[in-house]
Every structure is written in C-alpha cells, then in structure tokens.
Structure 1
Amino acid sequence: MALITPAALGVIVGAAFGCCGTLAGRKWFGYQTKSEMPETLAPGGSTPTFVSLDNALAIHDHANSILFRFLLGELTGVLSQHGYVMTRDATQRTELLSDVKHDVTKALLMKREKFLAPKQPTQSAEESVAYMLSTGYAAGWMNALLKGCESQGWFIEPCRANSRTGKIPPSVQKSGPDLYPLQQMIVQVRGTTGTLTRDLIRGLERVSDEIQITPFPDEGLNENLKGTYGNIVPASPDHSVSYSISWQHCTSGPGFFTDNYGSDLPPCLIRERERRKHISEQHIIVIIQGARHTVSASMQDCLCQAIYRINAGEYEGAEYDNNFGYAFISKCHV
C-alpha cells in the first residue's frame, strides 16, 4: 500500500485535465492549435511576446496544477475515511461501490468549491455540488480523475479491514485510530510596530517555501524552524520579519478544532488573540491541521488560502472540516 507522493501529483494532473470544462480538450489544443496558429512574435521576429500561445499554455498548466495538486491530496484523505487507499499495485485494484463513489465525489467537489471560492457560503457550495451531481457532470468528472490516476500507475484498493460491504471499517471511522496522530503546524511571523502587512505576507510566503521542501516529521517526532526575512540590520529594524514553524503530532482529539466543521475561530486562537491584545508588535499566527495521511501539499495550500485572505484585508478567519483545515489571527497594518 502506498499514498500519493508529492512527486507524482504533478504528473497525474495532466491526465486529469479532461475533468473540468475549462480544461477539456487540452491535448487537442496543444497539438492541433500549434500547427494552425503561428506564434505571436515581438517586433523583429525575435522572441515570443507576452500574449503568446506558449505563455498561455504555461500559465494554464501552472494555475490548474495548483488546484489538482490540492484535490489529489484531498482524495487520499476522503478515500481513507471510506476504507480505501491509493496503491501502486495494479493487482489490488478495486472499483468503488456506487454509494461510496457518490459520497467520495460529493466530498471532493465540495472541497473544490471551497478551494476556488473560500468565502462563498456553505449553502451555495452545496447547491452547486448538488447541481453537478444531478446533471451527471460530477460522475464524469470523477471518472476522468480516477482514470487519470490509473494512467499514471495509481489504483484504488480497500484497506485490509474493509470487507467491501460499503460500510466504513472501524479503523477509519471519523473517531477511529486511523485519523491519529493528527498532523499540526503552527506558523508565526512577527515584526515591529512599523512593519507593514506586505512584509509579514512575504514572511508567510517564505514559510510556504519551507513547508514545500520540509517533510512532516515521523510519528512521535516534532520539529521547529526559525528564520528571518527582510532588512535585519540595526539601522532599519522596521522592515525585518522573523518567522517560526512548528510541526507536531496530536495523538487524541479534539486537536485544534473542537467542531466537526465550520469557519468560527477555534478556542485556542481566541485565547491567543486575547493574550496578544495589548502587544504592540505586528504579527500573524496560522494554525493548520490534517489527519494522519494528509499530504504536505494540502497543508501548504491551507497556508496559501490564509495568505490570500490576509492579503485581502481579513484579520482573522478559519475553514475546517473533519479535522482538516486552518485558522489565523493577525495584527498588522498597511
């Protein structure tokens, strides 16, 4: 048994492009259009301009790979909750039972809706997913995604405890041991009273880079990383930012989030917000949590969503579902 590794995620994306309407026909477009449409060249016929086919395709691939990398990470978690895992062993390949496949598709599409429009009301996302399920779009989308995985050598197999009755085996129930230990990250960036939000955001972006290259520590181990970003010379301290990342495991519930799902600030951050109320330094704190098999790419995407919301002017926020999600508080100025 094996889970999808970050190295394989980007490869699978290409095979799943047919899943979305805007992505349909990517292979046809790449081969047919190039022979029919000349490159847009800069004056003098030197190098392609900004408005060129190659540039458009590169940006298209990059933007969509972010989404599908997130979805593939979430797919492993949703499958685990239903008693299945991804494997490289083709001999263990199994078809999802129809009711299980429906639930997996619905859950994954909800996560896609929240990823693409994190501020939309839950009811709006549910209505959108219900429409896709009723029209048959959802089934075709999921089939294309799974076929894309298989084209790259990834197959679905039942967990050993799964009797294939359609019931979730005890080992992967929501409160079961397969969720634990929970993976948790605490990210903090700090500046002086004169530090601008943009500098704190750049510190968070540096943290995002660190998360991408740092594997989550093995079960039972924690890890801490500290660093600085910006001008740290004594003459100009107002533009410096310090950051810290803590990777840790939580062996029992409820973890960071006491509710099953929601967007309310969790109690731990409410207490921290009160504690820091009279501290003058500018700061941002982001907490991220995943289940035992949540991939690092999904946790990095949580940080990216928090960065987007803070950059848009939000001072606190949260989004979590079934032990996976993030929350943040900030004290900063433009």
Structure 2
Amino acid sequence: MTSDSGIHRRVTLATWPTPLEPAPRLARAIGLGADDLWVKRDDLIGLGGGGNKIRKLEWLCGAALADGATVLVTTGAPQSNHARLTAAAGARLGLDVVLVLAGTPGASASGNLALDGLFGATVVWAGDVDGEGLAATAERVAERLRREGGVPALIPFGGSSVLGARGYLACGQELLTQAPDVETVVVAAGSGGTMAGLVDALGPARVLGVHCGAVADPALTVSALACGLSGADHPPHELRLRLDQVGAGYGTLTEPVMSALTLAARTEGLVLDPVYTGRAMAGLIAAVADGDIVAGRRTVFLHTGGLPGLFGHPAALARAEAELSAEDAQGTAPR
C-alpha cells in the first residue's frame, strides 16, 4: 500500500508508532533517576527482524515502485543491517534484491548474511574497496541489470539520503507525541540519515549522536542530510556528536561497548549489537559520567535494532559466551 506525501510516495512496511518503554533499572545503574531513561523500540518493527532502516525504506521503496523498478540494488558491509532489511523489503514487495557487499565470501555466513539468503537476495562481493569503490561496483551491477532487461533502483548506503531521512523526521514527530518533554534522544550515528531526521524534527540540541565509524565525517554527513529535509540550517558545529566510542574501527569490539551490552542485558533484558546500539549505549553511559546528560530530565535511547549482527560478530559472541556461569557437578554454581 502506498500513500502520497507531496511529490513523494511512501510504501507502508510496518505498523506505527513503535513503543516507548521505561528502563528504570538501567537508569539507576548508570546514575540517572528511575523515570529518566526510556527506550524507543524501533528494534520491534516487525519486517525482516526489525530496525531503523525500515522507516527509510518505506520512502526509498515507494520511490522505486513509482519509477517501475523490478530490482533493488544496495551496498553495505558483510553484516549490514540495511542490506538485510532491503532484502526483506524486496521480498515483501515482490522485488528482486542484489546486495553489493564489501569483502569476499568465506567469512562467517551467520547473522545478517544468513537472513540475506533466507530472504532470497543475491550477493555480489566487491572485494577490499572503500565507499567509492563499493558505489562504483553497485553502478556496474545496475548497468548490467538494465542490459538484461531489468529496472534497477539504487538504494543508497544505509538508506541515508534526504528522501530516506524523511522516515526519521516522522519518527521525531512521533516521539514528540509520546514524550513531549524529552530532553535528549541518544542514537547511533552510522550512515547519518537516522540522526539527520531526528535533528530536523527535534532540533540539534535534543539529539546526541554516537559516531560508529561508518562514515569519515559524521558531522558533515548529518548536517547535509538534515539541511536537505526542510531547508533549515543545521551546521555541523551545532550538532551533538560523540566521537569517543569508535575505538580501533567500525567492526571492532571495545571494552566500553562490551560493558554496555552486558549492562543493558542484565538490567532490562535488552539486547544490543556490538557495532551500532552497543556504541550508542556506551556513549549514553559516558555522557552521564561526564555530565552531558543529567538526572531529572527525560532521556530517550533510540534502539535501532541490529540483533542479527551480534550473531555475525565472532568477538562479541565469544565474550558473551564467556560470561556464562557454568554449573559444576555438585550444583554449586553462584546464583
């Protein structure tokens, strides 16, 4: 089902709004009041295992269908949440999907890669390339599909374009109806579109992005997307961005992130992933510790999903399994 919005066309892929839930035990554990911390559950969006990319794909797939597309082509890392959800959206809409992924076959096929196959996507491995090389490979794939009679639609990296960011402009407006007194929304800053939409809806002072290492200049990326949404000026220097959680790089697991994963799980039963939401939670914890977020004011953590990525991250899995308390033969394991 599609609906008109100005000159754009949006396809409905989920049921809105997503829940806003309290997290009192986690709040107290990190130094906030019990009623200060809430979680916006965009991980509970049903399609394809859930996650923030669905909001973007409603707009991007709507445009693709309006243009007569028969196949979606997008790019990402091997464990890309965006690639997984593009594959799921294609399955829902009856479109073929080609995923152009960095790297080579032979690494772990668990996590998002397993779901890519389950949804029927075709994977093209681009080798060891940077973002420009990945985009160039996707263009060549699209050209080949045209020669073969297909009508490809190129979906941007992470779903992050001005059109895709409209999904999080809507999310910001949705959040204001659920928590009009929200002081800070904490969100992973990956390809930029999620944070950009929130900034345009809520203003830069109320959005704290935690850089995950997916783009070279997150402030410039988010600023350009946010400014393109409504024409409002959101210069890079006005954005609230933490750059301290990337560690050695995008795919690496740091101690603060592992601690954040464990704490969220043990206080609220909340499962985060090691690349995006784990970094965002580590950034939230650091922001409380250094006084950027304070008790007595409502903070919302935007859970953008990504659970399958946990099962494709060997280091995170090994650390999580090492946390198990094994019961000995006498049944004297600690409680």
Shorter-chain TM-score category?
Answer: under 0.3
TM-score (norm 2): 0.25
Larger Rg: 1
TM-score (norm 1): 0.25
